[in-house]
Amino acid sequence: MRALKSFLLGTIAVGVVSYALVAALAVTAQAGGRTLEIALGPIAFVSVTHEAATTVTTFGPGLVVLALAGGLANLAAALLLRQRSSPPHDRVD
């Protein structure tokens, strides 16, 4: 249960922070009248394009991938800390 909590909390935290960061970048690009595309290979995070008289902002699946990676990193850190904080198992009876 602790592992699930660590994974979910990490996923939510990284997802919210990454969405806020990408949304701020998109708003800045729109205000400046520029196009913006942030992607890692085929995985897009955000895209701001101008078509005729409109501006189109698209949030891609990269945000979900980034959130899941953050959840896995938080899970790994929690497991490592739990392992290091437990007492040694080399008791002699």
- Would 91 be classed as within a structural domain? no
Helix ranges restricted to H, the chain = 2-32, 62-85
How large is the average pLDDT for residues 36-58?
91
- Would 84 be classed as within a structural domain? no
- Would 45 be classed as within a structural domain? yes
- Would 71 be classed as within a structural domain? yes
| 55/73 Cα distance (integer angstroms) | 35
- Would 88 be classed as within a structural domain? no
- Would 13 be classed as within a structural domain? yes
pLDDT for 66 equals 95
Q: For residue 32, which of 13, 48, 11, 45 has the smallest C-alpha distance? A: 48
Q: Is residue 44's pLDDT more than 80?
A: yes
The predicted model scores a pTM of 0.81
What is the count of structural domains for the chain?
1
The per-residue pLDDT of the chain, averaged, comes to 90
pLDDT for 92 equals 64
- Would 31 be classed as within a structural domain? yes
* Structural domain span for residue 14: 9-79
